[in-house]
Amino acid sequence: MIHQYKLNDYNIVLDVNSGSVHVVDEVAYDIIAAYETTPRAEIVAQMMAKYGDREDVNKAEIEQCIDDVEALRDAGKLFAEDKFRDVAVNFKANNTCIKALCLHIAHTCNLNCSYCFASQGKYHGDRALMSFETGKRALDFLVENSEGRRNLEVDFFGGEPLMNWEVVKQLVAYARSIEEAAGKNFRFTLTTNGVLVDDDVIDFCNREMHNVVLSLDGRREVHDRFRVDYAGKGSYDNIVPKFKRFVESRGGQGYYMRGTYTHHNTDFTNDIFHMADLGFDQLSMEPVVCAPDDPSALTEEDLPILFEQYELLAREMIRRKKEGKGFTFYHYMIDLTHGPCIYKRVAGCGSGSEYFAVTPWGELYPCHQFVGDERYSMGNIWDGVKNEALRDEFRKCNVYSKPECADCWARLWCAGGCAANAYHATGSITGTYAYGCELFKKRMECAIMIQVAEAEEGGALSDGAACGDGCSDCGDCTDCH
């Protein structure tokens, strides 16, 4: 399977099953489009009819191009077969380890954002803070169930985690005290709305948090539409100076300035550019997750506008990078040479199999987006996963278990997408959230186009890109092996 598209004056051909990316001229673009369904002589005739008046096009040239297409096919870089179903599906199905937890350290919040999927941090339940003892047991549970894995991810989430800050610090200290003997490496992430950020939070996070996710929706009027306190006062003026101080002191460590866009700001690139203009350079902007009848929900009519926005964003990112004012956007951060292996691309999200959310009371859910839905209560950190049938459903949830993914060119970039989104849209974790699929595919087209533009800028389109920093020595790319 291939996918062809034109964007920013590039003709791009993706080979789905090999992961190959080709940049072609319009003649080759049309030849490739016709190749699988049209006899060679007919392709030549069609191309001559369409391009024969061009100086660089003649029958021999077209024949040569078809030969090149066939050489790529023979090399497994074009029209490659899907040989992964059997080898990769079992990888997830047979996995028994747990390697990541989302600790719901506080089911309460100091903001009152009406669009919050977690119902202002309460997850449709009672307000609560996780105790140190519960959190400590969660970390022990993670160590006990992660045999064979070194990197353990723990996310402090809410509600607003800083409303239970002392426990966060105690849990990090506890994890550091046990990780060496256990042969583990804890990677912590804190997600915060910024209201309670102070020097203590900044210093501690810069020492201990692998990543911090800072919630900012963009322009003041956009941010303050939803992100208000219980008196209805917007939080922008309070948090932006704190976030600036936080990021400036982070010393290059990871962070995301993360926003949510809704039906009310479909021109969300202006919010991303606003963040960039504030000096933030690691950005994320997500479509709102809410019920379809919510006034904030994105509509079918919004979709073409959003497509244009993602394209505009990609072009602007290229321009700003050339000017030395570049920034990253979460969904455009792809690494073509050292990205995920085929196992990851088939297995997708580990929710409900190797990743769980832990409530303040120690209950286990497949991920933070299932918390509060009793049908998805899977056990607890003292007794372990009790609902093995449900865990098995998640283990078997992969890109091949979703019928709608079979014909999708983006399936090995997406891996079937978010189980929670699928469940909320269709009632099944093996369904697909069609609206999200459309956005994902547009983002992938843009992300790959940026890679093409950067390869062209670096003279690496035909000569081969050099391995950059962060090479994982996977042995699979053509750069260094």
Partner 1 sequence: MKRIQTINTRDLAKSVKNGGCGECQTSCQSACKTSCGVANQKCENKNAKK
Question: Residue 303 interacts with partner 1 (CB under 8 A)?
Answer: no
State the binding string over 33-72 for partner 1 (x if CB under 8 A, else -): ----------------------------x--xx--xx-xx
With 0-12 / 13-18 / 19 or more C-beta atoms within 10 angstroms meaning exposed / middle / buried, residue 133 is exposed
**Residue from 269, 296, 337, 430 that binds partner 1 (CB under 8 A)?**
337
State the Cα–Cα distance between residues 199 and 242, nearest whole angstrom.
Answer: 9
Question: Residue 457 interacts with partner 1 (CB under 8 A)?
Answer: no
Contact segment (CB under 8 A) with partner 1 among 176-184, 199-207, 309-317, 332-340 equals: 332-340
State the Cα–Cα distance between residues 82 and 79, nearest whole angstrom.
Answer: 9
**Residue from 243, 332, 376, 409 that binds partner 1 (CB under 8 A)?**
332
Question: Residue 219 interacts with partner 1 (CB under 8 A)?
Answer: no
Q: Name the minimum Å distance from CB 333 to partner 1.
A: 4
Contact segment (CB under 8 A) with partner 1 among 124-132, 168-176, 225-233, 413-421 equals: 413-421
State the Cα–Cα distance between residues 181 and 10, nearest whole angstrom.
Answer: 52
State the Cα–Cα distance between residues 417 and 331, nearest whole angstrom.
Answer: 13
Residue closer to partner 1 (CB basis): 154 or 240: 154
Residue closer to partner 1 (CB basis): 19 or 372: 19
Contact segment (CB under 8 A) with partner 1 among 36-44, 221-229, 307-315, 408-416 equals: 408-416
State the Cα–Cα distance between residues 38 and 62, nearest whole angstrom.
Answer: 14
Contact segment (CB under 8 A) with partner 1 among 35-43, 197-205, 336-344, 388-396 equals: 336-344
Contact segment (CB under 8 A) with partner 1 among 38-46, 169-177, 197-205, 253-261 equals: 253-261
With 0-12 / 13-18 / 19 or more C-beta atoms within 10 angstroms meaning exposed / middle / buried, residue 135 is buried
Total Cβ atoms within 10 A of residue 198: 12
State the Cα–Cα distance between residues 389 and 38, nearest whole angstrom.
Answer: 48
**Residue from 120, 421, 430, 432 that binds partner 1 (CB under 8 A)?**
421
One-letter amino acid of 271: D
Token pair 């040479």 is found at 337
State the Cα–Cα distance between residues 315 and 453, nearest whole angstrom.
Answer: 10
State the Cα–Cα distance between residues 446 and 436, nearest whole angstrom.
Answer: 15
One-letter amino acid of 169: K
- Under 8 Å CB-to-CB from 436, ≥6 apart: which residues? 287, 417, 418, 421, 425
Cα 480 vs. chain centroid, distance in angstroms?
Answer: 27
**Residue from 2, 7, 19, 408 that binds partner 1 (CB under 8 A)?**
19
Q: Name the minimum Å distance from CB 232 to partner 1.
A: 25
Question: Residue 18 interacts with partner 1 (CB under 8 A)?
Answer: yes
- Residues numbered 166 to 195 that lie near partner 1 (CB under 8 A) are 187, 189, 191
Cα 41 vs. chain centroid, distance in angstroms?
Answer: 44
Distances (CA, A) of 234 to 193, 239, 269, 271, 453: 12, 10, 21, 16, 39
Question: Residue 340 interacts with partner 1 (CB under 8 A)?
Answer: yes
Contact segment (CB under 8 A) with partner 1 among 105-113, 302-310, 312-320, 447-455 equals: 447-455
Residue closer to partner 1 (CB basis): 187 or 263: 187
Question: CB–CB of 51/57 below 8 Å?
Answer: yes
Question: Residue 444 interacts with partner 1 (CB under 8 A)?
Answer: yes
- Residues numbered 135 to 154 that lie near partner 1 (CB under 8 A) are 148-151, 153
State the binding string over 350-369 for partner 1 (x if CB under 8 A, else -): xx--xx-----------xxx
Q: Name the minimum Å distance from CB 393 to partner 1.
A: 16
State the Cα–Cα distance between residues 416 and 72, nearest whole angstrom.
Answer: 27
State the Cα–Cα distance between residues 370 and 124, nearest whole angstrom.
Answer: 11
Question: CB–CB of 360/107 below 8 Å?
Answer: yes
Question: Residue 345 interacts with partner 1 (CB under 8 A)?
Answer: yes
State the Cα–Cα distance between residues 193 and 363, nearest whole angstrom.
Answer: 24
Among candidates 192, 202, 199, 124, which has minimal Cα distance to 164? Answer: 192
Question: Residue 431 interacts with partner 1 (CB under 8 A)?
Answer: no
State the binding string over 70-109 for partner 1 (x if CB under 8 A, else -): -xx---xx--x--xx--xx--x---x-x-xx-x-------
Contact segment (CB under 8 A) with partner 1 among 126-134, 200-208, 225-233, 448-456 equals: 448-456
Residue closer to partner 1 (CB basis): 177 or 462: 462
Q: Name the minimum Å distance from CB 481 to partner 1.
A: 8
Number of residues that bind partner 1 (CB under 8 A): 107
